[in-house]
Amino acid sequence: MKLKLKIWKQKNQTAEGKFHDYNVEADEHMSFLEMLDVLNEGLLENQQEPVAFDHDCREGICGTCSLVINGRPHGPMQGTTACQLHMRHFKDGDTITIEPWRANAFPIVKDLVTDRSAFDRIIQSGGFVSVNTGQAMDGNAIPIEKDVAGEAFEAATCIGCGACVAACPNGSAMLFTSAKINHLDLLPQGKVESSKRVVKMVEKMDEEGFGNCSNVGACHVECPKEIKLENIARMNRKYFAAKLSAK
């Protein structure tokens, strides 16, 4: 299949970027990233600069790939990362626009690569449980209700890709932050630091320059792991409770 690509090119964070047009010959069995590999190989053969884009696992679990494809983070398929998106969802002769994540808290490093370390700093601020060293406890010794475990697991499937921020018209990181808070907070091990965690992580999120959530819900639609909006409501609840009960 022959495709026309409109790709955002930008030298570095401060340089001005613009769209470049490329033509590429792809196969419908390729993944989206393989199609970009083919493009880059061709560019290298012709001594041109390849297009910079982020990727790592290429199996939908690391959250590194980050492309806005035709205006949609991770492309048109629901619950799918860009690396798991296949070219069979496009037609021969299509023009595809590829842009980087857009949010001021995610500055562009080069072309389609953005700096998402703000997420790491949110995690560092409270996205952990403290445990004493020593003999590991028997996991089954702590009873956890099945539904609660399921809810915690669902929240834990967030891969930290940042599509929620990219999708949000406000550039808000509330879906990510709430998923990370809840997957720990729902479990007994996470309850110990519950109040501290939610306050710290929300403070960090604000400090990192993410926007303010207005419940648009675009984050949930674009999230490759379909993290639920209920997470945000739960985080709000926990945050109010932590603030109101703080000494």
Partner 1 sequence: MKWLTSLLTSSIGRKLIMALTGLFLCSFLVIHLIGNLQLLVDDGGVAFNDYAYFMTHFLPIKIVSYGLYAGIILHSIMGIALWLQNRKKKGVGYKGGKAQGSWASKNMGLLGTLILAFIFIHMGDFWFKMKFTDTLKMVSSEALGHDVKDLYKRVSIAFENPLIVIAYVIGQLVLAFHLWHGFASGFVTLGINNKKYTPIIETIGRVFAIVVPVGFVIIPILHYLGISF
Summarize as ranges the residues that interact with ligand FES (CB under 6 A): 55-58, 60-65, 81, 83
Q: Is 174 in the site for ligand SF4 (CB under 6 A)?
A: no
Q: What is the CA radius of gyration of the chain?
A: 20
179 binds, among ligand SF4, ligand FES, partner 1, none (CB under 5 to 8 A by kind): ligand SF4
Which part of the chain contacts ligand SF4 (CB under 6 A), choosing from 144-152, 173-181, 191-199, 206-214? Answer: 173-181
CB 102 within 8 A of CB 95: no
Token digits of residue 8: 């955002």
Q: Please give the residue ranges that form the binding site for partner 1 (CB under 8 A).
A: 6, 19, 68-72, 97-99, 102-105, 167-172, 174, 202-203, 205-206, 209-218, 221-222, 229-230, 232-240, 243-244, 246
143 binds, among ligand FES, partner 1, ligand SF4, none (CB under 5 to 8 A by kind): none
Maximum distance among all Cα pairs of the chain, rounded to whole angstroms: 65
Minimum distance between the CB of residue 84 and ligand FES, rounded to whole angstroms?
7
Where do the DSSP E strands lie in the chain? 2-9, 18-25, 68-69, 72-73, 95-99, 108-110, 113-114
> Pick from 128, 143, 135, 113: which is nearest to 11 by CA?
113
CB 51 within 8 A of CB 9: yes
Closer to ligand FES by Cβ: residue 57 or 123: 57
Which of 51, 105, 161, 186 contacts ligand SF4 by CB under 6 A?
Answer: 161
Minimum distance between the CB of residue 82 and ligand FES, rounded to whole angstroms?
6
Q: Is 164 in the site for ligand SF4 (CB under 6 A)?
A: yes
Q: List Cα–Cα distances, 96 to 7, 33, 77, in angstroms.
A: 8, 13, 14
Minimum distance between the CB of residue 222 and ligand SF4, rounded to whole angstroms?
6
Token digits of residue 58: 């290429």
Which of 225, 228, 234, 238 contacts ligand SF4 by CB under 6 A?
Answer: 225
Which of 26, 223, 229, 232 contacts ligand SF4 by CB under 6 A?
Answer: 223
Identify the three-state secondary structure at position 96. Answer: strand
Cα(82)–Cα(76) distance, integer angstroms? 9
171 binds, among ligand FES, partner 1, ligand SF4, none (CB under 5 to 8 A by kind): partner 1
Cα(65)–Cα(58) distance, integer angstroms? 8
Cα(36)–Cα(176) distance, integer angstroms? 27
37 binds, among ligand FES, ligand SF4, partner 1, none (CB under 5 to 8 A by kind): none
Minimum distance between the CB of residue 118 and partner 1, rounded to whole angstroms?
12
